[in-house]
Chain A
Amino acid sequence: MAQIRTYVRPMNGWWRRNPYFVRYMIREGSSVFLAIYSVILLVGLLRLSQGQAAWEAWRAALTSPWSILFHWLALLTVSYHAYTWWKVSPKTAPDLRVGGRPVPEVLIAAGGWLATIGASVLIYVIVRWM
């Protein structure tokens, strides 16, 4: 019996065809870095519970060039995710109205970006000086 040969559009590398999908994949890909980073923190917690020598070994491991490279890539992709998370927040969050009028979308997104900047400064100050 003859094989029915219908055209199936190849999907390999579909996301490289359009910059919009490339950005989508970077944002989704940030979750891989975030997951690995969480596991690094969990290992740090394990090492902390094992005593000072174990903790120092964990800190020493984080100074390796591969670790630094990983964390730079994680920082870039996860920061991009943070940017997009707040950018779409006006569409994902419940309808926000002040005085019966919807709050402009750009203000909601800007509130999120400012919250991230504020939290970042606060955490830096606490870790460094408190």
Chain B
Amino acid sequence: MKRSHEPIFWSLFGAGGVLSALVAPILIFITGIIAPTGLWMPPAALEYSRVLGFAHHWLGKLLLLAVISLFLFHAMHRIYHGMHDIGIHAGKGAMLACYGFAAACTVVAAWLLLAVGT
């Protein structure tokens, strides 16, 4: 019997679900709302040197990669299975596109984190 690849994607979906349930609301609130508007967050908080320093540290790299990659594997898994709900009966191509997009973004993020240096 051919082994299913579902456990791999379900694990990534689950990991992304836990991570997003823990930190996605506050991250969206900080980077998308209070930092750009300057409400409850000084502009210096996300200034270039500070964020670059975070991206230089190995722990910062790991956190950035985990957030971008796992959020996407979680979201693309939901989007792939959710297509059925809105009447699109997607096949193998849609599955490849969804997981492929998450995988490609993961590779790009990892490459950028290496390129940005230490």
Contact = CB atoms under 8 A, between A and B. Distances in A.
Contacts of B36: 59, 62-63, 67-68
Contacts of A67: 32, 36
A2 interface: no
Contact of A56 (B48, B67, B85): B48
* Contact residues of B: prevailing secondary structure: helix
Given A28-B78, A35-B71, A42-B108, A78 B28 contact: yes
Interface in B17-53: 17-18, 20-33, 35-37, 40-42, 45-46, 48, 51-52
Contacts of A44: 31
Contacts of B103: none
A15 B22 contact: no
A68 B37 CA distance: 8
B54 to A, nearest CB: 9
Contacts of B33: 68, 71-72, 75
Interface of B: 17-18, 20-33, 35-37, 40-42, 45-46, 48, 51-52, 55, 64, 67-68, 71-72, 74-79, 82, 85, 87, 105, 108-109, 112-113, 115-116
